[in-house]
Structure 1
């Protein structure tokens, strides 16, 4: 499975929604505390771009030499319609400062010096220290995952249905009796996670299909998916 640090880095560097939580700004709307962009520097610090007039920038400017604690909270929502659509959350906490002169007109760059992080997702809940977060790499499919899952869901429904045959005898009988909807819910370099949902609001369960070896890009993913569907068909 991907490490907690890798999963956290993947969420930080994805297009998932994020909000910066700063003590004293609880009354500010989440739209005012959502970064325009975010990235991770070589030391593991987060760089967050905001409008120059945002409450976050005012708070960081006012703090000056004082330590201003803050938390970036990220919410990961499945890009396809599925029950229990929130796939996970990540939080990166640390200390916020302004980085003058590094943003475009009307914008200000803030640096969140990473203290610690944690992730609560489909794999479980785990803490991440600053060094592990710094050294981790995001999943190589992070920029394409949403589009790939949407494509699988829209264009490969019949092939997804065949994955029931890889679940083992008991689960396969359930599939045959209930004919659950089969929805691709997560994809990474190590495998595909699918959610099986019984009709008319019935129960759901997830199954994880591992690739024979980690994929490094979309080309290798295409080959791995072909092998997966081929195995399911037989």
Structure 2
């Protein structure tokens, strides 16, 4: 499974929504607290860009040295329609400073020196060591996961439904009693997670591991073909 540090790094470098909060600073003007970009520096610090008139930017500009505490909150929502769509959250706290000269007119880049990190997602809840976060790499499909899941959902529904055959006797009985809707929920280099919706009120998750970690679209295509072939045997 991906480590907590890798999962956090993946969330940071994904297109998930985020908000940058400063304790004690009013959260009015919510749109001014949403970074337009996020990146990770070589030391594991975060660089986020916000409107120059954001209250967070003003607070960072007037803070002494690096004494302004801040928290970046990231929320990961499934890109396809499923019950309970929030897949995970990450909180990264640290010390905020401005980095003039990196952004265009009307924007400002802020540096968040990471201090504490925490992730809560489909794998569980864990604290993340800043050094582990610094050294981790995002999942290779972080940029394409949304498109890939939407493609699977729109174009391979019948094949996804057949995956019930791989879920064991108990799941097979449940699938036979209530023809389920199998929706792709998450994808990483180690495997595919689906949410099996039996009816309006009941659902459960299942995860299918790939024989070997995949690194690119070619490897993913082969892994998915192998998975679907196994379901029809």
Give yes or no for TM over 0.5: yes
Q: Following the alignment from structure 1 to structure 2, what is the Cα–Cα distance between the partners of residues 229 and 26?
A: 51
Aligned match of 2:227: 228
2:41 is equivalent to residue 29 of structure 1: no
Question: Which SS does the other structure have where 1:49 is aligned?
Answer: strand
Unmatched tracts of structure 1, length 5 or more: none
Aligned match of 1:107: 107
Structure 1 residue 189: deviation in Å?
0.4
For the 8 Å contact 2:66–2:97, the answer to whether it is kept is no
For the 8 Å contact 1:182–1:197, the answer to whether it is kept is yes
For the 8 Å contact 1:64–1:97, the answer to whether it is kept is no
Q: TM-score, normalization: structure 1? A: 0.97
Q: Following the alignment from structure 1 to structure 2, what is the Cα–Cα distance between the partners of residues 3 and 58?
A: 36
Q: Following the alignment from structure 2 to structure 1, what is the Cα–Cα distance between the partners of residues 66 and 96?
A: 10
**Where do 1:1-234 residues align within 5 Å?**
1-65=1-65, 67-199=67-199, 201-234=200-233
For the 8 Å contact 1:40–1:47, the answer to whether it is kept is yes
Q: Following the alignment from structure 1 to structure 2, what is the Cα–Cα distance between the partners of residues 124 and 163?
A: 24
Q: Following the alignment from structure 1 to structure 2, what is the Cα–Cα distance between the partners of residues 13 and 66?
A: 24
Change (3 A) 1:125 1:115: same
Unmatched tracts of structure 2, length 5 or more: none
Please list the CA deviations of residues 29-86 of structure 1 after superposition, one character each: whole Å capped at 9, or x if unmatched. 3211000111000100000011111111101001032500001000000000000000
For the 8 Å contact 1:195–1:205, the answer to whether it is kept is yes
Q: Following the alignment from structure 1 to structure 2, what is the Cα–Cα distance between the partners of residues 189 and 168?
A: 24
Question: Which SS does the other structure have where 2:138 is aligned?
Answer: coil
For the 8 Å contact 2:120–2:126, the answer to whether it is kept is yes
Please list the CA deviations of residues 140-194 of structure 1 after superposition, one character each: whole Å capped at 9, or x if unmatched. 0000000000000000000001100000111111101111111000000000000
Question: Which SS does the other structure have where 2:184 is aligned?
Answer: strand
Q: Which runs of 4+ in 1 moved over 6 A?
A: none
Q: Which moved more, 1:103-112 or 1:154-163?
A: 103-112
Q: Following the alignment from structure 2 to structure 1, what is the Cα–Cα distance between the partners of residues 227 and 27?
A: 49
Q: Which moved more, 1:206-215 or 1:47-56?
A: 47-56
Structure 1 residue 28: deviation in Å?
2.0
Aligned residues: 233
For the 8 Å contact 2:77–2:85, the answer to whether it is kept is yes
Q: TM-score, normalization: structure 2? A: 0.98
Q: Following the alignment from structure 1 to structure 2, what is the Cα–Cα distance between the partners of residues 86 and 30?
A: 20
Q: Following the alignment from structure 2 to structure 1, what is the Cα–Cα distance between the partners of residues 28 and 112?
A: 19
